[in-house]
Amino acid sequence: MLYTRTNHLAHARLGVVAAKRFAPRAVTRNTIKRISRELFRQAALPALDCIVRLSKPLNGKNDPATGAALRAAVRAELQRLFQLPAVTK
């Protein structure tokens, strides 16, 4: 989920919330944060405050902590979110 709000700075800012209940392993949470920051830097966003927040579980304790499939899914969803952010006031 992506929350946005305009800011009065010359650049956009990012916050990432990866809750332990949605991604129980630290490796998974760190992967999500790393990919979020990478795609945020590549996106040409106006002066916005953006918060990326997990809204449903990505994987459980029995699934692999990280892998190509997980990274691809996270990257695809974040690319979709950063295309047209919904600006709220």
Whether the pLDDT of residue 89 is over 50: the answer is no
Q: CB count, 10 Å around CB of 84?
A: 8
Q: How far apart are the first and last CA of the chain?
A: 17
**Mean pLDDT over residues 55-67, rounded?**
73
User: In this structure, is residue 89 part of a structural domain?
Assistant: no
- On whether the CB atoms of residues 37 and 74 are closer than 8 A, the answer is no
User: In this structure, is residue 88 part of a structural domain?
Assistant: no
CATH of the domain at 42: 3.30.230.10
> Residues 34-49: pLDDT tens digits?
999 999 988 888 888 9
User: In this structure, is residue 72 part of a structural domain?
Assistant: yes
Residue 60, both tokens = 């459980």
The number of domains in the chain is 1
